[in-house]
Structure formats: structure tokens, C-alpha cells
Structure 1
Amino acid sequence: MSLIALKDLSLVRSELLFKDLSFTVAKGDRLGLVAANGRGKSSLLRILAGEETATTGNVTNIRGLVVAFAPQDPPAHLLPLSFYDAVRDALTAELAETESWRVDILLDDLSVDEDIRHRPVSQLSGGWQRTMLLARAAIVEPDLLLLDEPTNHLDLGRIGVLQRFLMNLPRDCAVIAASHDRAFLDDTTTRTLFLRPTGSEDFALPYSRARQALDENDSARGRQYDNDMRKVKALRQQAAKLKNIGINSGSDLLVVKTKQLSERADKLEERAQPAHLERSAGNIRLTNSGTHAKALVTINDTQIETPDQRLLFRISKFWIEKSDRIALLGANGTGKTRFVKRLQAALIQEDPHIRGAASLKLGYSDQALSQLDQFPSPWEAVKRSSDLNDHQARSQLAGAGISMEAQTAPVSRLSGGQRARLAMLLLRLTEPNFYLLDEPTNHLDIEGQDMLENELIEHETACLLVSHDRAFITNVATRFWVIENKKLIEVDDPAPVFAKLIAE
């Protein structure tokens, strides 16, 4: 039974985001919504939630449909409230008074610690704010649950909690999740909608298999288009020859035949559809300045501690060679970020236990992209980070998906995807030979993730990265370091580590 139906929907903002979009959502559907940054995913979810109106088209709900929407960021009125009260706020006044116990049960299901429940939303991490927004949506017991980038800022343990929570929803509850997390989509969805300006495609398959089917469709469409255009060219050449013969011979029959051939060519050209060409949200390009040193980083018998000197884990002897791409894995709170910060500091200042090669040039990006905060605008960021002239700077920014208007606007106005691409551009301009990347795929769409993967692999770039993106780690990393039982160990296969972290 259909819960909601969209017919010939279109949405125009400063540009066309999508048109002629038609699909239905049935009870129990698990739909993954996929598109590049800025292509209308969040707007479509808000339209489904009744918070926005499409430019044209119709949205039809069954009577009494309860829709709940978990956006990416908490609205301002929730920030002063505690986690608990922000969830309770989603209930009607009567239910909040008589059935607040539902909040406690839900937060138990979501494994929310007692101390987290009483913290103000404004003081919560991005991951806990995401969990609060999910809880607000779920507490109303919706028929249709809408999730906008639900795994952003979540570690693998929290992603596991989210996946189990979705799996245990009532069978009739439908879910639409807009996400760039490929592994999450594969694990939780059975249907995928690729949102495009024209020709959006819907497959009854999880993401990876749907992506393969989409690529095959695009390839077939491209071959058909090329074939049609060859036929158009041949028809017009034939018409041109007959026209000349008809004029010279004065044959009315040949003139009629020429007109028929031209009309066939026009109709075929009108029907021909070129293969879809995705307009990029901006390029990601890296570089590797190279080095003759075999070992870029050497770590000898040290330990990583909290600021109050509590032991997190010990490291015996490890090294990073010039072509290593190392993924650092471990449960939340085991010390991954502390290790990254220690490593960054050691490569800038002398550390007796962690040494970098004399030729090492570090490129560092943290998960909050805080390195961008020192710059008033993208333009200033590029000019201060390079010797590029004005024309080159504008060209580099435009290539990274930052428009002329945005180049001189405050960095704070950039979208998450634009900030991520700007951070990668600044890294490339420093020409490093070793990258230290903390959650580099945060805010990147799947196209951006693919670009980053390809750049790291193609340039044989040495890097140490922390990421909760299982697909990214599997595709990029050549070595896997794991923090386990307060020790740093190396494993050959990350899959068992993923499984363990997800299950915790």
C-alpha cells in the first residue's frame, strides 16, 4: 500500500534541481536517496515532510499519514534544551505530560548514556546531535521516517546502533535516507533513488548494485545516442545528395523524397537522448611532492595519553613508508584523535619518540576543517597558501566548485561540501608528501569520495587517515592499524574490525 505518491514533481531554486520526478513510497520501504551535494536531496525530504513546496507537481499522502523528519542540524530553539527535553519537545503537550516514559525507553534503545541526556544540545558533539534529531523523529512513531545524512559525525559504534535501530522499527514504517555513506546504504536499504535534474532513476536494489545498474543504463543510453546520431548524419547526407540530383534533373519525386529524409532525421534527433552527464560539485585534486626517504615516519616505544595523563594505548615500533596509506581504526574514546594530534605536533616540533624524515612535508586536515577558520574568505585562503596570481587563484577556486560570488564571501557561508573541497585544495597547494587526514570524507558526496580515493591511489600518496567510512577505508588503505586493549596493532583485513565495532 502506498503511503505517499509524487507525480511530475519539479523544483527550481537558483537553478533547476529536478523535474518530472514521480515515485511512490509503500509501507516498509527502505529507500536510499543519492545525489551530489547541492542537488536537492534535503529539499526533497522537506517537501515530503510538508515543510517546503515543490515548484510544480503533486504530492499525495494517505489519510492520517504521520511523517517525521530528522534534518542535518538542530533548529535554534532546541540548542538551550537538554538532550532529553529536546526529544520530549517533539511530543504533544498532553503526551509529554502523561507519557514521557516513552523518551526513556527510546533513549535506552539508542544507547544514550545518562550524562548525555542532561547536557544542553548546544554542548553536544555533532554525532550526539544527530542521535537527538533521530530520537525526536522516532518518538512520534511515524509511518514515514525521513533521515538527512544520518551517519555524519557518527563513529562505527554509533552507526551500528543506528543500523540496529532502523532494523527494529515496525515493519510497516517506511524510511527514506539521504546519505553519502555507501556501506550504510548497502546495509540498511533495499531501494535506491538517484536524484538528477532530469531522468532520475529508481532501482529496487541497495546502493552498490543499484549504482552498477545505473552505470550500465547510462552506458547503454550513451551507445544508443551515438548510434542515433550516426543515423541522423547518414539521413542528412543522403537527403543532401538527393536534393542536388533533384534540382539538376527537375524531379518532383526526388524533392519529396529529400523532404521525407530530412523530416526523419529531425524526428530521430529530437527523440535521441544523450547519456546523463553529472555536473560536478567541484574537483578534488591532490599531489605528491615525492621523497627519496624510505621511512617517512618512525614511531618508537611511546604511549598516547589523555590531557590528564591517563593511558589510552601503547605503541611499540611502527613506521610509515613513502607509499603507505594507513587507516587508523578503533572504538570511540580509544585515542585516535589524540594520536593524530600527537603525530601532527611531533612532525612540526621535535619529539624523541616520533620522528619524521628530513624531506617530509606534512599536509594536515582535521575533521572540523578548523584550518579554514583562520581565513576570512576562500580567496584569502588560496592567496595566503600559495604564490598563485589572481587569475590562477580564481581558476583554482572555480575548479573546486566555489563560485565567483562565494570566493570573496566569508568561509562560514560555504556549504559542508564546499568547505571540504576548499580544504583539499589548500592541502594540494602546500605540495605535501605525507597527508594526515581526520575524517576526510565528512561532508563529501559520493562523487567527491570517488575523486579523493582516486587521487590518493593514483599519486601513491603516503597518508594516515582516520575515518568511519568503511567503503572509503576498504578502497584506499594498504595497511590497517587498530587500537585494541590499549595497544596499537596491525591487521591484514579490516572486515572483522568493522564487524566488531559495528556490533559494540
Structure 2
Amino acid sequence: MAAYEEFLTGCFPSIDSELVSYVGGMLEDNDVVSSSNVMYEAIGPFLEQIDDSKTEDDIKHICDRLYALISKSVDTSVQSNGPNKILGAPVHLSSLLQETNAPGTDTSSIWISKRDSNAQVDSKQLAKAEAQLLKKQKKQADKDSSAKKPQNGVMEGPTASQQINRRDQKLESSGTNKSYDIKIENFDIAFGDRVLILGSSIHLSAGRRYGLCGRNGLGKTTLLKTISSGNLQIPSHITILHVEQEVVGDDTLSIDSVLESDTERHRLLNREKELAKLINLSPTGNKGDNSVSTELSEIYEALEAIEADKAPARAAVILAGLGFTPAMQKACTRSLSGGWRMRLALARALFSKPDLLLLDEPTNMLDMKAIIWLENYLQTWATTILVVSHDRSFLNAVCTDIVHLHSRNLITYKGNYDQFDKTKDERLKNQKKEYEAQKQYREHIQVFIDRFRYNANRASQVQSKLKLLEKLPPLELPGKDVEVSMKFPECDKLTGNILQLDEMCFHYTKERPIFISVDCNANMKSRICIVGDNGAGKTTLLKILMGELSPVKGIRHAHRSLRIGYFSQHHVDQLEMDLTSVELLAQRFPGKPQEQYRNMLGQYGVTGELAMRPVTSLSGGQKSRVAFAVMSMSNPNFFILDEPTNHLDMETIEALGEALNKFEGGVILVSHDERLITMVCQELWVVKNNKVISLEGGFDHYKKIVEEELKEQGC
């Protein structure tokens, strides 16, 4: 008999043997018992129901004794050459699992093992113990209710604590008392031979909105994929949806595709049609069989409970907020482009409302109006969100917490991104102060040791100081991210309006004009941002300014010495993925020494080993930096940038803004990143209703206009 079983029998002579086994099973099943309080919370209620004469303090004392017994046994097992080991390197569980599953191999492992089903707590014993607990709780509730006396003929209502207890009892009896908090403890993630996250933990509280931040290439997207694939242990009752791939195009209407994402509603409607068909086909109207009618009534009640009749309107509001016109909502998904299919995937996720919504750069595919709508929509989101985004204003508007991935570890901060930024700086300052204090303390001890090392009278003191110095933890300087810097090359200066459109008209088809009588110009000092709804013609305007498209009517003027550097939002598709970054520049601009290629890449943070890796192995942000290097090799004196912040981390966006401000040439960019726009741009061009309008009020004025439009549309 185990020590704790003998102790329990001694304290409670009348205890049921099944209950002893059940309590013992609970204790053995807990891998870590952190304190006697945890012990009391786990088994206290079961012990109280055995002997009513024992007070709460008596039960707590018994739990303290039990904790002491178990702690002693754990300490003994640790000292006796048990399986506890300190690793010098990370353990790759996926490779271990493959080796374990291989035929003819020993399946015993301290890392991957299956729990013996015989060690599970017997379900009958569990049900019996829970029934006894509920009986006692009901008895206590009856005592509390009988203790209250009616006042003025009216019985007092239950207190808040009693309401919570009764609700918990109801949930426990129905088997629906499930927590939607997510706690993933002490996990590792590796990509190939590279360890991305080591021995870290993440806790996601239900209903909170978390922003996942960190430098490019650290593993944020990999973490989302690992969670969604089920490789990390998450309770099975929690539904997870990762918006990663675009919707497959077929003949399904866009709005129907969104409605079908609610699988429960879709199932109930299909079953309703089947039962209605059975009733209609029955010659007697199905009067002889009430089962069909009963099931149909239950389905109607279920549909009413989930407000199925309001679903089409809710789906239409979501699609409209993301920029879908009424015609696009009724269009087949196969007729949508890749960007619009990604928006449709986002709409399906918002409509289905999973318990955990994983979003990876959701603003990359959206225009400013859709971003503002999404910010407002997610602020009232009821379940948990984990979003990767480098849009600072979006994180400030949406997130209640920030999870920072740094040095292969995840650290959670309360508040939005601005609060996180301040807290992180304060934390770094405190760590530096602690480092300096520890350093001075060690130096003080070392001075004493050096001074009296050969003094026989102080030998014992020197030895104690040496032992004290050895016991101190390693002194490490607080880690700080390397500052990102970007530098555009110097360029030839030009005077006057170097790029101009006069009475420009353009269309792809006469039935649908894009621009009518547009007049605009730019010079070397221009810092212009082009904004507008998706499909309004922003990218078309850029191509006309670059000369790739010719106006149908009107004139494009360009300085004869003008050299334009163009950054495409689809730059990733234009890079040769099999080549290294150095080889890519050598292929595009042959005849230059390798040092020049590496120097250009180094100006955008692609240095050392990174420059010799194939482009396909780089992260999205690192590929963008390579694209900047390619753009700058021709030494342009005017930049036209189409969504340059896509895939860039927060620090790189800041560095890009500073580099554009120092650039001596002109800049026209299309962007939805509020931070970059306010940092760089001095003029705003709004593309709307076949016109290009210069907005004097700047970005803040444009944002107010968009919010008013959304209110008018009811989004």
C-alpha cells in the first residue's frame, strides 16, 4: 500500500476503498503538485464529504501532510538516478516520433510514451465521487436558502456567489463546463536544423485579442501553422481556424461560400429540407409517424436559437465591410482574383466565429477602408484572437495583449502595441540596471579576493567569497535587437516638375473608364501617398506614371534624365528563388565585382551568410529587402513604391521611413500603413470616381472621410 493511501485510511477509517483509489489516481495523475493549496483544491471537496465532523482547517492540515508525503517521494526518485535529465541541446520530437514508429524499434522513450490505459481513473468511481460531491453541494445550497427569511412577503434572491455556484453545478452536471483558455507549456519549435522557439510557454485567455510581434524570420508564421496543425496540445473542444490559404474558386456564390462556413447552420438547413421532402412525399401527410415531425420541430428550434434567419444579412455586412460590392457578393468564386479570394477566406473566418482565430498579416490584402472596418469589427470580437501584424495602428486598435517573440522565447505584455513598446523599453532599462549592480557586486567580491588571497589570517574569508562567487548565476548582458538601418544611394538632382500628367484619360474598355481628365505632377521634393478603394485604379495610375501604360487621351511628361525605381507589391513573384541574393544581383546587373553586390545588399540588412542563402529560404521581409537592393542597383532618382510595407517587421518599416526621408529624390507610394504614411508623406492623392484629388487635410482628414462613409453604408 502506498504511503498516502495508508495515511488516508488512518485519518478516515470509514473511507470507501473506491474513493481511496480515486483520490490516489488523481494524485498519481498530476505530474507536478506545486503546493499544498493545489492539493487542497484537488481533493479537499472529496475528503470533506467523508467525515462531516472535520472542519475546513482539519482538511487543510491533512492536505499539508499529504503534500509532504508526496514531495518526499518525488525528491527520493530524483536522487536515485531517475529519468530526470538536463539537456544540452533541444529535442526534436518529430524525428523521435518517426524513429519510435519505425518497425522493429523499441518504443520505450522518456520523450514519447503512451499512458497505460489501466492507470486511468475508473469512470464508475469518478461518477460516484462526483455524485456525492453534488449531493453535498445541493445540501449546502438548501441550508443557505432556508437560512434566508422573507422580508415583506418577498423571499430574498440568491447572492452573486450562490448564482455562480448554481451555474457551475448545472454546467458540471451537463458536461459542458469546459474552459476556453489555452495554455501550452514548455514547447520547442524547430525548422530543419534551426531552433525557432526553445522551452517557451504561451497562455491565451478566452476572449482576449493577442498580437504576435517580432523580427522577420524568427518563426511567427511557423508558430501559427504549428498551432493550427494540432502539433501543440490544445483541448479538443476548442475550434481553431487559421486564415492562410485563399478560397478555391468554383461555381459557389461568394455570399453562399460565407454562409456555408457555419457548418452547424448548413447541416440543420440540409436536414430540414430532407425532412420536409419526406413529409411532402408521404401520401398520408406522415400522420402515422410523429418522429419526423418531432425532429423537424427540434430543427426549427435549433435554427431559431442560432438566429439562422439573420445569417444572410450578417454575411452581407461582413462582405461589404471587406469591400465586396453587391454584384461581387453574387458572383462565383472562380471569377475572383487571388486577393479577393483571400478576403473571402477572411470573411468566412469572421462569419464562422471559431474559438481561436489565427490571422497572419490580415491587412496586407486590404485597402484603408477595409482595414478601418476590420479594426472596428474585431474590437467587439467575443472569442480569442492571435494575429501576426506589422501594422502598428492596427495592433493599437485591436489588441488587448502583445506576445513578443524574442531570443527564441515568448513574452506576453498587457495592453496594445504602444503600451508594449513603453513597457519593453522600461524592462530593458531595469535589466541593464540589474546587470550593472550585479557586475559591481562581483567586482567588489573579486577585489577582496585579490587583496587577501595570500593572507593566512583571511584565508577562510577568501574561501567563502570564492564559493559565493561560484554560486552566482552567469552574468549576461540584456539582449537587445540589432538596430535595422536602410540607406538609399545618392542620386542626380533634377529641377522643376519631373513627372506630370495633363488632361489624362484612360480606360481598358470604353464602357468602363478608369480616369477622366486627370491633372497631377511631382518633383524631386515630392513625398506623395496614393490612397483609395481596391479597384479604383491606384496600380493603374502608377503604371501610367512609369510609362508602362499610355494614356488614351492627354499627355504624360517626364524629365529626360528621370530614372524610376519601382517596387511592386508582387515583388516576390519576380525574384529567381533558386539563386542566392548575390547571384540574383549579378544576373540582373552583370559585370560588377561581387563586393559591390554584397555592399548593396548590406545597405538593406542582407549581410553575411544571409546573402549566400537561396532566396526561397528567406522570410517574406528578407525577400522584400532583396527587392529593395535590386531596385536601387540602377541608381534611380525617383521611387514609385506599391505596398512596400507588406511582410516588413515594425523595425524595418521605421528604418524604411527614415531612409525615404533622407532620400534626395522624389517618392510616390501606395500604402495602407498609417505609421509610414504619417512619417514620410506630405501630400495625399485620393483615387475616386475616375479622378485623382489632392487632399489638403492629409491622412487624418482622409481617415475621417472613410469612417463617415462606413457609417453611411451601415458597416
Indicate the TM-score class for this superposition, using the shorter chain for normalisation: 0.7 to 0.9
- Determine whether 1:308 maps to 2:518: no
Amino acid at match of 2:214: A
Amino acid at match of 1:124: L
Find the residue that maps to 1:353 and give its secondary structure. Answer: strand
- Determine whether 1:94 maps to 2:302: no
Q: Is the 8 A contact 1:31 1:193 kept in 2?
A: yes
- Determine whether 1:215 maps to 2:401: no
Please point out which of 372, 377, 386 is paired with 2:574: 372
Residue of structure 2 in register with 1:15 after alignment:
194
CA deviations on 1:139-192 (whole Å, 9 max, x unpaired) are 4432222212211121112223322332344x3x22221111111111111211
Residue of structure 1 in register with 2:388 after alignment:
178
CA deviations on 1:434-461 (whole Å, 9 max, x unpaired) are 1110100111121221221121123355
Query: CA shift at 1:267, angstroms?
Result: 4.3
1:34-49 superposed matches below 5 A: 34-49=213-228
Please point out which of 628, 639, 642 is paired with 1:435: 639
Distance 2:379 2:699 in 1: 24
Structure having greater relative contact order (Cα 8 Å, sep ≥ 6): 1
Query: CA shift at 1:344, angstroms?
Result: 0.7
User: 1:5/1:231 Cα in 2 relative to 1: closer, same or farther (>3 Å)?
Assistant: same
Find the residue that maps to 1:175 and give its secondary structure. Answer: strand
Residue of structure 2 in register with 1:200 after alignment:
410
Please point out which of 553, 565, 571 is paired with 1:363: 565
Query: CA shift at 1:431, angstroms?
Result: 1.7
Amino acid at match of 1:470: E
User: 1:293/1:85 Cα in 2 relative to 1: closer, same or farther (>3 Å)?
Assistant: same
Amino acid at match of 1:208: D
1:379-458 superposed matches below 5 A: 379-386=582-589, 387-390=591-594, 392-393=596-597, 397=601, 400-401=605-606, 407=612, 409=614, 411=615, 414-458=618-662
Find the residue that maps to 1:44 and give its secondary structure. Answer: helix
Distance 1:320 1:227 in 2: 56
Distance 1:375 1:127 in 2: 22
Find the residue that maps to 1:32 and give its secondary structure. Answer: strand
User: 1:85/1:356 Cα in 2 relative to 1: closer, same or farther (>3 Å)?
Assistant: same
Q: Is the 8 A contact 1:286 1:424 kept in 2?
A: no
Q: Is the 8 A contact 1:406 1:414 kept in 2?
A: no
Find the residue that maps to 1:134 and give its secondary structure. Answer: helix
- Determine whether 1:107 maps to 2:315: yes
Q: Is the 8 A contact 1:296 1:319 kept in 2?
A: yes
Unaligned 5+ segments in structure 2 are: 1-178, 272-302, 711-715
Q: Is the 8 A contact 1:385 1:429 kept in 2?
A: no
More helix by share: 2
Unaligned 5+ segments in structure 1 are: none
Query: CA shift at 1:292, angstroms?
Result: 3.5
Query: CA shift at 1:382, angstroms?
Result: 0.7
Please point out which of 339, 342, 353 is paired with 2:555: 353
User: 1:376/1:18 Cα in 2 relative to 1: closer, same or farther (>3 Å)?
Assistant: closer
Amino acid at match of 2:210: L
CA deviations on 1:217-238 (whole Å, 9 max, x unpaired) are 1233233323423433343244
Distance 1:328 1:275 in 2: 42
Find the residue that maps to 1:254 and give its secondary structure. Answer: helix
Q: Is the 8 A contact 2:503 2:554 kept in 1?
A: no
Residue of structure 2 in register with 1:188 after alignment:
398
- Determine whether 1:159 maps to 2:364: no
Residue of structure 2 in register with 1:66 after alignment:
239
Find the residue that maps to 2:557 and give its secondary structure. Answer: strand
Distance 2:497 2:463 in 1: 72
More strand by share: 1
Query: CA shift at 1:48, angstroms?
Result: 3.5
Distance 1:371 1:322 in 2: 30
Query: CA shift at 1:395, angstroms?
Result: 6.5
Please report the RMSD computed on the Cα atoms of aligned residues, expressed in angstroms.
3.5
Find the residue that maps to 1:293 and give its secondary structure. Answer: coil
- Determine whether 1:343 maps to 2:343: no
Q: Is the 8 A contact 1:167 1:188 kept in 2?
A: yes
Distance 1:126 1:180 in 2: 22
- Determine whether 1:30 maps to 2:209: yes
User: 1:311/1:94 Cα in 2 relative to 1: closer, same or farther (>3 Å)?
Assistant: closer
- Normalised by the length of structure 2, the TM-score is 0.60
Distance 1:464 1:487 in 2: 14
Q: Is the 8 A contact 1:32 1:177 kept in 2?
A: yes
CA deviations on 1:272-307 (whole Å, 9 max, x unpaired) are 442223368xx6633242333233524253224232
Aligned-residue sequence identity (percent) comes to 23
Distance 1:413 1:7 in 2: 29
Q: Is the 8 A contact 1:33 1:193 kept in 2?
A: yes
- Determine whether 1:325 maps to 2:527: yes
Amino acid at match of 1:70: V
Q: Is the 8 A contact 2:212 2:386 kept in 1?
A: yes
Distance 2:375 2:667 in 1: 30
Residue of structure 2 in register with 1:276 after alignment:
479
Please point out which of 468, 491, 509 is paired with 1:290: 491
Please point out which of 258, 276, 292 is paired with 2:462: 258
Amino acid at match of 2:666: A
Larger Rg: 2
Paired residues, number = 481
Q: Is the 8 A contact 1:298 1:356 kept in 2?
A: yes
Distance 2:424 2:190 in 1: 25
1:127-142 superposed matches below 5 A: 127-142=339-354
Q: Is the 8 A contact 1:68 1:140 kept in 2?
A: no
User: 1:121/1:348 Cα in 2 relative to 1: closer, same or farther (>3 Å)?
Assistant: closer
CA deviations on 1:36-92 (whole Å, 9 max, x unpaired) are 22222223323443x1425xxxx453x732222222x338xx355745565436736
Query: CA shift at 1:397, angstroms?
Result: 4.9
Distance 1:86 1:388 in 2: 53
Distance 2:496 2:462 in 1: 73
CA deviations on 1:198-257 (whole Å, 9 max, x unpaired) are 4532222111221122122123323332342343334324422322xx1xx4x0x43333
